[in-house]
Amino acid sequence: MNFSLPELPYAHNALEPVISQRTIEYHYGKHHQAYINNLNNLIKGTEFEDKTLEQIIQNAEGAIYNNAAQAWNHTFYFQSFTAQGKQKPEGKLLEAIQQQWGTFEQFQNEFAAAATSLFGSGWAWLVVNQNKQLEITKEPNAGNPLTKQQIPLLTFDVWEHAYYLDYQNQRPEHIKQLWNIIDWNVIEKRYEQAVK
């Protein structure tokens, strides 16, 4: 299987000022593309050549795992945004968040704390765990919740390449601004699928 860079569901400048066109061009156009190119080269002639990204993530190690997970993570991340984001989710997802954290604002605070406190590079995740409950996790480097039988709903990329052109070393400000562009309709659909 030959993987390719998926199309973004919005124009490269659509998320400004939260994520600039320049960041999209580097983060999506160069970093994301590089993970896909690397993966395609690494899996040639291996047992993973005809596997899906999910299968590779759950079974590979080393460079093949890292590039597969980063390709998957970035696709998932970029598909979580919209220029017309609503401020919070609705329906069953909002109810589940309020049941788990009391208020949506408390959830945001705890998610932001996870994303801010992750040392070095990695990802903060909202997942549905094996008990069908919501959980905030954080994974270093290319870490992906699929390896722990968790179902990802939302992620914030806290590798510096995700925000440095726009925010320099101000990771907390980047995280704060991301809430303005979350496509909660997409996240709600992911949740509904996860708890079926």
Reported as a single tens digit per residue, the pLDDT across 33-66 is: 999 999 999 999 999 999 999 999 999 999 999 9
Residue-wise pLDDT tens digits, 141-195: 999 999 999 999 999 999 999 999 899 999 999 999 999 999 999 999 999 999 9
Q: Residue 15 pLDDT more than 80?
A: yes
The CB-side HSE value for 43 (13 A sphere, CA atoms) comes to: 27
Return d(Cα 74, Cα 80) in angstroms, integer: 10
The answer to whether residue 9 scores a pLDDT higher than 80 is yes
The answer to whether residues 175 and 112 touch, using CB atoms and an 8 Å cutoff, is: yes
Count of beta carbons in the 10 Å neighbourhood of residue 95: 11
Q: Is 89 helix (H, G, I), strand (E, B) or coil?
A: coil
Tell which residue, 37, 72, 35, 33, has the closest CA to residue 56.
72
Question: What is the value of pTM for the model shown?
Answer: 0.95
Exposure pattern of 164-185 as b/e (b: 16+ CB <10 Å)? Answer: bbbbeeebeebbebbeebbbbe
Domains and CATH numbers, the chain: 21-78 (1.10.287.990), 91-194 (3.55.40.20)
Residues 6 or more apart whose CB falls under 8 angstroms from that of 67 comprise 35, 36, 38, 39, 42, 142
Residues comprising the chain, all counted: 196
